[in-house]
Amino acid sequence: MIIITQPPEPPLEIPDPSTLLTRVHIDNGQDCSSPDNWLADATHQEHNLEIRNFGCRLYAEPYVCPAWRGPTDVCVTTGAVVAYTQRVATQRVFEFCGVPTGPFDVSGRVGVGESSTLEISGGRVGSVVASQASLVRVRGGTVEGLWARDYAQLEMSGGETRVVGVEGQATASISGGSVESNLIARDEAVITVLGSTFALDGVPVFSGPIASEGGSLSGWLSDGSHLEVRAWAGSDCANASADEEVCGSGTIVLVPEPDALSLAAAALAVLALRRWRELQERPIRSPTSRAC
């Protein structure tokens, strides 16, 4: 009797965090027209990548930038693997405002600082942290998590991420793509969600800020993607952290896209206004000028 068995799978290799914390700085003051700022391979897969303004001093306390010479813009395209390591069993569970955001890689962070810009249209990227007045645009690809603080901005119109979180006076706009688990807003930060057919805990919500206690948010984004996440804002976030002063009162705002009926009504109003103007401009004939 011959028994054929499959060879055992090799044990899951857990990367050593100490080997994954090397910082790589891109602060050349150039944009995506430069090959150095166009990431399309795995060069920085196991690094913490920092994108900064050219000439600024790194990690100065207090923060100063004595020789600012222009922002650095970086584009991540299809095929790139940036600051991203495969999830492992012993990974840490990160929290934001006391809210568990799910398991993340043991390392792999892309920091975008000052007024620099990061655009992601493909590939795989680790957690992105935008600070100061930086801008992050996500049009495609897979991102572990999107975070913004200070006055930074996040714009998501495509791609995939697990969580979007904002604090300070940062803002985030979500019109497309896929958010897997959480939207988190704290302090004075605002997350704007553009779409339609919104509901909070199953109750339809047309527009405006959601209730401060948050809840399960569902709907359809502007690009037609389905949204179903846990939304944390205001007092709910405060209750989760047991510290209202720390957590603050972030806001999640729903902005509905015009539906078919609204567009039709607007079109009819335009036609009616055009007809009225035509009637006002038409000359009025006197009764004596009427032909027999």
Buried b (16+ CB within 10 A) or exposed e, 141-171: bbbbbbbbbebbbbbbbbbbbbbbbbbbebb
Structure-token pair, residue 253: 């705002």
The 10s digit of each residue's pLDDT in 51-67 is: 888 877 665 555 566 66
Q: Residue 250 has what pLDDT?
A: 85
C-alpha 221/C-alpha 171 separation (Å) is 18
Between 152 and 108, residue with greater pLDDT: 152
The angle subtended at Cα 28 by Cα 25 and Cα 31, nearest 5°, is 110
Task: Please check whether residue 136 is in contact with residue 112, taking contact to mean a CB–CB distance below 8 angstroms.
Answer: yes
Q: Which of 67, 71, 55 is nearest to 114 (CA)?
A: 71
Residue 292 clears pLDDT 90, i.e. is over it: no
pLDDT tier, 88 (very low <50, low <70, confident <90, very high otherwise): very low
Between 91 and 212, residue with greater pLDDT: 212
Range in 101-115, 161-175, 207-221 with the lowest mean pLDDT: 101-115
This prediction's pTM: 0.75
C-alpha 252/C-alpha 214 separation (Å) is 9
